[in-house]
Copies of this chain bind each other. A is one copy, B any other.
Amino acid sequence: MQRVCFLLQVRPERLEEYKQRHRAVWPDMLQALRETGWTNYSLFLRADGLLVGYFETPDLAAALQGMSQREVNARWQREMAEFFENLGDRNPDEGFLQLEEIFHLPETHDS
What residues make up the interface of A, taking CB atoms closer than 8 Å to B?
A: 3, 5, 7, 18-19, 22-23, 25, 30, 33-35, 37-46, 50, 52, 54-56, 97, 99-108, 111
Contacts and interface: CB of A to CB of B under 8 A. Distances in A.
Given A54-B54, A102-B22, A111 B34 contact: yes
Q: How many copies does the complex hold?
A: 2
Contact of A33 (B35, B38, B105): B105
A22 B103 contact: yes
Contact of A44 (B37, B39, B55, B102): B102
30 contacts: A3-B54, A5-B44, A5-B52, A5-B54, A7-B46, A7-B52, A18-B102, A19-B102, A22-B103, A23-B102, A23-B103, A34-B108, A34-B111, A39-B106, A39-B108, A41-B103, A41-B105, A42-B101, A42-B104, A42-B105, A43-B101, A43-B102, A43-B104, A44-B101, A44-B102, A45-B99, A45-B100, A45-B102, A46-B97, A52-B52
